[in-house]
Structure 1
Amino acid sequence: MKNKFNIDFRIFENYYSADYFKKTREILNKYKPKQLVTMQWFQRSDNTVVCGIEVIKEILRLSNIDNLEVEAVEDGEIVNALEPVLKITGLYNDFAHFEGLFDGILSRASTIATNARKISKAANNKIVINMNDRMDYFTNQQIDGYASYVGGIRNLVTEASFEFLEEESNLNGTMPHALIASFDGDLIKATQAYKEVFPNNNLVALIDYNNDCLNDALKVCNAFRGEIYGVRLDTSQGLVDKSLQNMKEKSNELHGVNITLVKLLRKELDKSGHNNVKIIVSSGFNEDKIRDFEINNAPVDIYGVGDAITKNKIGFTGDIVLIDGKKQSKFGRENTFSSKIKSIKYK
């Protein structure tokens, strides 16, 4: 059977299920084997982009459970606090072990998708590259790539990030500082080597290696006139670029990759005839920093984003709200109607 999301089949052996769910399942299997329950999943934040429903459908499809009634929103649906996104009705023994598992799937994927949407919106639909591979455990890349795509950031940097997507990988990458270091800090030689080995790639030069972005940008653009697609600034927040060190600052606004530096870079590139060279920025960018750049008309063409993709965790909770069709739930956890939820088939 095809396994689109590469589900680990140990899920069905309770390997990933919390112990108390397994014990509850055994208890109810003894005392309430025919009890029909409705479980409902929700979260507590407004404007959440739901993601992970397709993964849950895949788990249910691969299971040996045939008699569940499943209702859910679609991946990419935007919901508010307390809106149900998934309801499952059936024998509790059949899906009790999935409660915490589904919480986690929805939480991780919806966090990524929601952050991706917010960041994309802040960037005014400019290109955003998801560079979170270096910020998280590597086995998250598949689900994070899928969720990032659902949220609107579709420029990914690893093959694993495309594994759950129904399209060919279109990897986005520039050059790391390690490449420049390997050529003794010579940006021109590193760029030439990149060009020779990957002649069909966009030629993007990393220009902050010497903390001299303006001079290095002009140097590499002049050396490869008409061939440079873009230059990337990745200056650490603890540094002030050499071009700005004679300026006075009030509150670290000249540190790292900043608006003043980007505007000055654009001015110098245009003055030297490199009007078509794109400016790519990375290092510490999140929704707020991107919005600030956009409000101040910073001439950025492409944003690179790392751990901002996984911040502001969204937690989901599954609760029993009906037993044998009658209200039965923890106080404050009512069976809630939502017009966004539709009946779905998982088999």
Structure 2
Amino acid sequence: MNEACEELLGSLRRADQRRRGGQYLRGLLTATGRKTARNIANFGGTGASAQSLHHFVASSTWDWRPVRATLARYVDDGLRPNAWVIRPMVVSKTGVRSVGVRRRFVPDLGRVMSCQRSFGLWMASDARAAPVSWHLTLDGEPGGEADGRPDAPGEERDVARLVTEIAQANRTVARPVVMDARTAAVPPLVRALTAAGLPFMLRVGGELPLDPAAGRVQLGQRPQTAPAQHLMEQLKRLGRPVECHGAVNFVTPLAVVLPGALPRRTLLLMGVWRANRRRPADLWLTDLTSSGHSALLRLAMLTERVDSDFAAVSVDVGIRDFEGRSFQGWHRHVTLASIAHALRLSQDGQWCEYQVPIAG
């Protein structure tokens, strides 16, 4: 671990910062309970006070960006990922002291709550996944978005920028961006990813309006705009079985055009059925129109891979545990927790042997 810490924290200019970083990482990996500065310091073997650790994260001068670039190279070498996955993180907060906290509607819970909202950029393969960069939604604070909705103006560009910054820093191949975009503004998201040269695989809601591509499957006398759910339900009979991770799903493809996305181009809407359900379990929109159905389904399943590793690894190393008012401090903490996640996966260099089963 010492050698990996030296590599991952090598961009920190001062020896005392690298030492504090190593102490913080050991605490994230070994302390029990919430990974606060006090808990990390109280846990035997860190050799640092709670005040010094808090200062290192909240008030020190080191820049997290080059650390993340090094982390991305480290994860890329160990993981050999298939895609970038964007995953939101919502942390419930009882007060308003923590950075980025406000009352907002949380679609997954179906209610308004006081919380902190961010999203992480993950590198993911079939067997494992690790976060390498983060964006914190500030909402109405200086430099933040206009409101807390997932489709807040500019957030789609932030998604594309989050990926391109890491990709450019590491000169990596443009992998597909996989994301659950059911609550996002899909046309501007597609525009942002296309402008950045990033292929995409987006889970979309059934109400998304789409045009069947001319010259392809016709749903009447002529192609007409209809909700994605409606289009797929009419084509269920055309579904074909596709096996993925030991389970058989029925997949139906349809060439479509997304209204409002310029330039207009043919995309692929993929409906995925499980068991004998009348409605598809998932709807995916992608520009990977030449890829096989099995390959596309494996990409879609990477969101579940990320969810599993978030719950099994990231939460355990304290990704949700930062409490403070410092925007810089939040970014430093999640960067160090992301390093701890990668170190947990790569213990003894066994990236390939570590695997948390995908739930369900």
Does TM, scored on the shorter chain, surpass 0.5? no
TM-score by length of 1: 0.28
Larger radius of gyration: 1
RCO comparison, higher one (Cα < 8 Å, 6+): 1
TM-score by length of 2: 0.28
